[in-house]
Amino acid sequence: MNKCFNTLTNWTLVINFIATIISLFIKIMPLYLVTVFINMLLFIIIAGNIIIITHGKNIANKCKTTKKKLDFTNIIQHIIIPICFIVYWCWFIRNKSNINQISKPFVFIMISIIISFFIAAIYFVLMKLDITFDYDLDQKILWLYIIGYIILTIGFCILSPTIIRTLQKNRINI
């Protein structure tokens, strides 16, 4: 299997696709999971574009493709599809979520952060075991992306209860 397709972006999009399908059929989706999904999407929007802009030629060479194809794929995978999922999850929070799921914001934040870190740790271990794509980046740069993920995760998870409550206040009752 070509590891160029076994990326964090593709894993995130598949996880979000499966979760979206499930959320259409069940009444309650835990909001801390929705927070994790949005956090992952925000990270691939930011980090995916930075990686392609700064290291696109190396990645295109390693994946045996052209920079033009890589840029096109970047627009689809790191901008259009993640934004569509984020819009869906915001709609879900606003219209389908249980208003009382965030009775203890600190616990909610901690669960969201722990799940986000766990998913990132699994991916990092798989990358170190040479199972997933390492983006042809040296260790120092990979660690900078990990630090960026940690900062984004903590910041977004701290803000998420406020964002969720704001979306729920503007609920449309159907």
Extents of the domains making up the chain:
3-169
Mean pLDDT value across residues 72-79:
92
Q: Could you write out the DSSP letters of every residue in 36-101?
A: HHHHHHHHHHHHHHHHHHHHHHHHHHHTT--HHHHHHHHHIIIIIHHHHHHHHHHHHHHHTS-GGG
d(Cα 82, Cα 86) in Å, to the nearest integer?
Answer: 6
Q: Whole-model pTM above 0.85?
A: yes
Q: List Cα–Cα distances, 40 to 52, 63, 103, in angstroms.
A: 17, 23, 24
Q: For the ranges 17-21, 23-27, 108-112, 156-160, which has the lowest average pLDDT?
A: 23-27
Q: Which of 1-5, 27-31, 34-38, 166-170 has the lowest mean pLDDT?
A: 1-5
Residue 134's pLDDT band, with cuts at 50, 70 and 90, is: confident
